[in-house]
Amino acid sequence: MRTDATYAEVIPLIRLPRSLGIFDYSVPTSLVHDLAPGVLVTIPFRGRRVAGVVLKLKKEASYAPDKLESVVAQRTDAPLISPTLLQTYVALATEYCVSPALLLRTILPDIPKRVLPFRVETSYAPRGITVPRMLVGKITEGLSASLAAHDVLLHIDDARIFYALINRLALEAYKTGRHLRILSSRRGDAITIAHFLNQYGLPAARVLPTDSASHYLGLWRALDRGEVPVVVGTRAALFLPLPSESTVMLLDEDSDDWKQGDINPRYDARTLLPRLLEEKSHRILVSQSIRPELASARAAGTLRYVDIRTHDPAEVTILNMRDHVRSGAKNTLSDALVEALKGSERALLFTHRKGKGSVLLCRDCQFLFRCALCEVPLGVHRTFLRCSACTERVPLPLTCPSCKGSRLASIGTGTERVEDELSKLFPGTPILRVDSENRMTDIALGERMGARGIVVGTQTLLAQFGSASREPFLFDLIAIIDADTALHRSDFRSHEKLARILTQLGHLAARAHAPLLIQTAFPDLSLWKIPRGNDDPYLVEELRERESLHYPPSWRLIKIIIQNKDRATLEGSAHEVKNGLIAAVRAHPEVEVIGPYSAVPPKVRGRYHELILVRFPPKLYAEIKPHVCALPDDVIVDLDTLDILR
């Protein structure tokens, strides 16, 4: 695109508040015929020189021309980002209530001083995969659905089917020129999948958050030229250029890791992906458990569902803990579970929490040990207390600082407490703990366990062994110790999170032909049918309850976060924000503005947090968004939040 425009709208590639982001610059005579939308330039900005991307060229400035600074230099010969995609990103910035500068800074690669050439593999020598005959039908069914030009959800529980599918899809990408992108929420899985494809003669470019700027930029340009048939990566690979005809496979669709909820822009890759795909592209969603949002889409006919599970459902036994509690027993493990463990050689016990207990309490004065910085109750470990928010550690105290008493008790169940109980019950049996404080590979786990042992793990272990893209570690007994812990949290997604855990444990049990034991005081819940292969009752109940309580997917949520070091100032600001929102949406009485209420934890790293929840029917989003995005720059906006508590 050549033009004689003398002014350019430029987006600086730096983190800016949402009220800033697009600036006018004059174009020097030497660059008048070379600049185009999407080209990277060097611009002066607040006393320093920064990179920026040209959004638009024009003949008239929006401000007084004599006050405009000039573009310093052109950094790329051709547009790094297409004008169409650039406009999409600007629209997304508005949708997420962030500055276009911040969004593009997140997406575009740094421009290094030296750009190394990116090696593009164009030749391929596919090797065949041997699979059992009994899986061929399922693989064929999954491949047929994946190659159709329609969004599809694949319900998979066998790694052999998964790898056979991606092998065939990669081969199709090389044969037909239709780009294949495989996205994983976990770095380790992305590395494994890329290695697998390369090993079987189908070269795949790999994208990780730790990649150098030179590698990322080289791959960006190669993709823009349509030279890379297959890309495997983490969430960062989502923003690399997508050819007009692409197939994007998103693994572990039910994982919360697809949502960036800790820093801006707070996007969800699952909902963002359809916005980035062109008309001739489609999605393949791979999951073990079905989220309520997907169940709703499946019922509406907008998402094709293909069940290619191969294993018979697990044998599930419910252990009613009411009888255990009535008997006065204080131990975590029921008698029935202990008896089952006696006949087991390799057992997995799942618990929701790590550590010795949830909190440390003084039995004399009820003093609760909290973090001095965050006011969060400190988690109990064997030799120390640890803050879950800022990771601050303090030595395990001997006395209460309030009453000087020594009757301190850890309340709740954690991996270390279960480990201690098991060590007393089964002396001489290897007891292994796997949580975020104590990770180990499957090889190390097998070596340390030997022929007999018990593993106590949290979701860290499920993240390692519970994915359909991984070969299972075989146990002959699996049990959930504290299934009810997740039921009573003040979180509208608590049942959904437990459903995912039940699905993963059920699949582990089914693949190993092992029984699954569930300790619960509520034996009649429909949730317990999930590992038996029947999630319909739970999904029907969950969707009905969410609709009645005005939660997604039938309603939308926006979480607003106000923070300050001074609590009194914070409370005043939070009420001011709430009152402003109520006045702005008064014409829509169905919009609910809830709060302000304290986050959990209320204080993190010295700053207090207050939350406001805006709840509304999806049809009103266009009416609500301008008022939310007009909030002060220091107020954080989280569209379609997954966590209403923090």
Instruction: Give the CATH number for residue 588.
Output: 3.30.70.600
Domain boundaries, position 90: 7-107
Residues 74 and 169 in one domain: no
C-alpha angle 524/526/531, rounded to 5°?
110
Residues 90 and 170 in one domain: no
The SS3 of residue 463 is helix
pLDDT at 296 over 70: yes
Q: Which two tokens stand for residue 100?
A: 């276009």
CB atoms < 10 A from the CB of 441, how many?
10
Dist. CA 280–CA 243, nearest whole Å: 10
Residues 229 and 345 in one domain: no
Bridging pattern class, strands 431-434 and 453-457: parallel
Let me know if residue 125 belongs to a domain.
Answer: no
Residues 331 and 471 in one domain: yes
CATH number of the domain that 99 lies in? 3.40.1440.60
Residues 608 and 492 in one domain: no
Dist. CA 454–CA 478, nearest whole Å: 10
Let me know if residue 228 belongs to a domain.
Answer: yes
Let me know if residue 123 belongs to a domain.
Answer: no
Dist. CA 386–CA 395, nearest whole Å: 9
Residues 579 and 633 in one domain: yes
DSSP designation for 403: T
Beta-ladder partners of 395: 384
Residues 433 and 324 in one domain: yes
Let me know if residue 30 belongs to a domain.
Answer: yes
Q: What is the pLDDT of residues 233-280, one digit of tens each?
A: 999 899 999 988 999 999 999 889 999 988 889 999 999 998 888 878
Q: What is the pLDDT of residue 346?
A: 87
Q: What is the pLDDT of residues 166-191, one digit of tens each?
A: 999 999 999 999 999 999 988 989 99
Residues 333 and 293 in one domain: no
Q: What is the pLDDT of residues 205-214, one digit of tens each?
A: 999 988 888 8
Dist. CA 534–CA 390, nearest whole Å: 40
Dist. CA 473–CA 459, nearest whole Å: 15
Dist. CA 92–CA 272, nearest whole Å: 9
Let me know if residue 51 belongs to a domain.
Answer: yes
Let me know if residue 385 belongs to a domain.
Answer: no
Residues 6+ apart with CB under 8 A from 175: none
More confident residue, 118 or 371: 371
Q: Which of 50, 41, 40 is nearest to 20 (CA)?
A: 50
Residues 566 and 529 in one domain: no
CATH number of the domain that 454 lies in? 3.40.50.300
Q: What is the pLDDT of residue 634?
A: 92
Let me know if residue 371 belongs to a domain.
Answer: no
Q: Which of 52, 69, 51 is nearest to 10 (CA)?
A: 52
Residues 246 and 278 in one domain: yes
DSSP assignment of 87-137: HHHHHHHHHTTS-HHHHHHHHSPP--SS-PPPPP------------GGGHH
* Number of domains comprising the chain: 4
Q: What is the pLDDT of residues 585-612, one digit of tens each?
A: 999 999 999 999 998 888 887 899 999 9
What pTM value is reported for the model? 0.87
Residues 607 and 590 in one domain: yes
Dist. CA 249–CA 149, nearest whole Å: 13
Let me know if residue 128 belongs to a domain.
Answer: no
Residues 590 and 505 in one domain: no
